[in-house]
Amino acid sequence: MKKIIAVTACPTGIAHTFMAEEALKKAAAELGAEIKVETNGAIGAENVLTEQDIQEAVGVIIAADKDVNPDRFNGKPVLEVSVQEGIHNPRELIKRVLNNLVPIRQGVQMTVAGVGSAGKKSVGRQIYKHLMNGVSNMLPFVVAGGVLIAISFLWGIFSADPKSDQYNEFAAMLMKIGGQAFSVMVPIFTAFIASSIADRPGLVAGFVGGLMANATGAGFLGGIVAGFMAGYLMLWLKNMLSGLPKQFEGLKSIFIMPLVGVFIIGTVMFLLGKPVGAINTGMMNWLGSLQNSNPILLGIAVGAMCAFDFGGPVNKAAYVTGTMLLAQGNYYFMAGVSAACITPPLVIALATTIFKKYFTEEELAAGLVNYILGSTHITEGAIPFAAKDPLRVIPILMIASSISAAMTYIMRIQVPAPHGGFLILPIVSNPFLWFGDILTGSIIGAVLYGLYRRTVSKNL
């Protein structure tokens, strides 16, 4: 029996990672192949591949949207795809490996530069992976800091202000801790974009670039610019200095590269910070004004983005924008984002409850699980249902999420935490209305989806 090894990873490390693992294992069993899958989840790598595993394998499947140390597989047939491919097309991926239709991985320079047979698609794929590596490592800081700040508001919106009658020492401490976690959000994001490109040499220059983005007001947009600039600068510098004698290795890695990288990226961000900051501020102000001038349009946009790819790049764009505005004290935008992310799995859960006879036993069991996933802000629970007929199911979920988001903006509900689902109801400005908005969108979506399933069953 041929042995295949695989690595799965998604930006959050919560759902897609393990869904891809399960899909690959199931497909391997059906095709008569042995497989070992390393998962890079939120708590780190599990079932880690050993040197022996790598040696014994006939090929490697990397289904990941962030850095998973692929250089350890150099010299092996390696198929690098998105985590979504691992979920939706596991049989095809395994067949390609078993039939020797996979190229030999040559090394980091080829994949980072995006040259060779992969062409332009490789460049876009690599940029996306670097960006998601930054998002993946940033999210725990966002969630931890945001939730602590939100909890501090339980004592009052001014509970951290010593001059206010609402002041509470414990609440002030929570605000301070959460604020510190939030303050390194952009530097962490930037540092891990750079390290995904250039490994450890990119980390320092990227982190300092992120600090400069914060200091100059360039914010998240500046962090993206600094991260990619730092990464590719340090990769170029590493290649330029590769010819130095081995005795200079310590000098190169500890002194020359950090000094040059920090100086150049720091200087560039010092000069670019204000122009990029103006763009960043303008974009945030426009989004902030849209929630007042046209909340329905904003709700449609946010809802459609969040339900389009269930935790993928489009969903993450809306979510990260919400966290950026959250850091600036705008709690309205995140209310719609959270509502839109919670809705899709609740649509599935309610549909399987209301229209039971149009679903299989397996789907009914998965539907019950979606009550838990939806209530805890895990959008990915809807993926297995949407994957069966994406052209019809995804638009239904987008409509439902748009209704939920638009209603929260119309009612001007504030959510000061970036995650948590219904667990954060005590700190929502109007928890009953917010819950009602989400339930309304979810019920409408459930009815639409249930009617669709009924129509499909009648045509069979």
Q: Give per-residue burial for 330-359: e unless 16+ CB within 10 Å, then b.
A: bbbbbbbbbbbbbbbbbbbbbbbbebeebb
Beta-carbon count within 10 A of 108 CB: 16
Query: Distance between CA atoms of 193 and 177, rounded to whole angstroms?
Result: 25
441: Cβ–Cβ under 8 A, 6 or more apart, which residues? 303, 339, 343, 400, 401, 402, 403, 404, 405, 407
Cα 214 to Cα 157, 218, 221, 279, 282, distances in angstroms: 25, 6, 10, 14, 16
Per the residue annotation, which of 10, 87, 143, 171 is the catalytic one?
Answer: 10
Instruction: State the Cα–Cα distance between residues 194 and 204, nearest whole angstrom.
Output: 9
Is position 341 annotated as part of the catalytic site? no
Cα–Cα distances in angstroms (integers) from residue 282 to residues 63, 156, 218, 221, 302, in the given order: 37, 30, 11, 11, 18
> What is d(CA 187, CA 137) in angstroms, rounded to the nearest whole number?
11
Nearest to 276 by CA among 191, 205, 216: 216
Residue 114, phi then psi, degrees to nearest 5: 75, 30
Q: Taking the alpha carbons of 292, 295, 299, 305 in that order, is the dihedral positive or negative?
A: negative
Q: What angle do CA 109, 115, 119 make, to 5 degrees?
A: 145
Q: Which residue has the tokens 């990619």?
A: 228
Do residues 226 and 209 touch, judged by C-beta distance below 8 A? Answer: yes
| String of DSSP letters for 176-244 | HHHHHHHHTHHHHHHHHHHHHHHSHHHHHHHHHHHHHHHHHT-HHHHHHHHHHHHHHHHHHHHHHTTTS
> What does the angle CA 256 – CA 135 – CA 237 come to, to the nearest 5 degrees?
20
Q: 374 and 381 in contact (C-beta within 8 Å)?
A: yes
The closest alpha carbon to 203, from 218, 187, 219, 214, belongs to 187
Q: Could you tell me the CA-to-CA distances from 260 to 216, 237, 241, 266, 267 in Å, in that order?
A: 21, 9, 12, 10, 11
Active site amino acids: 10
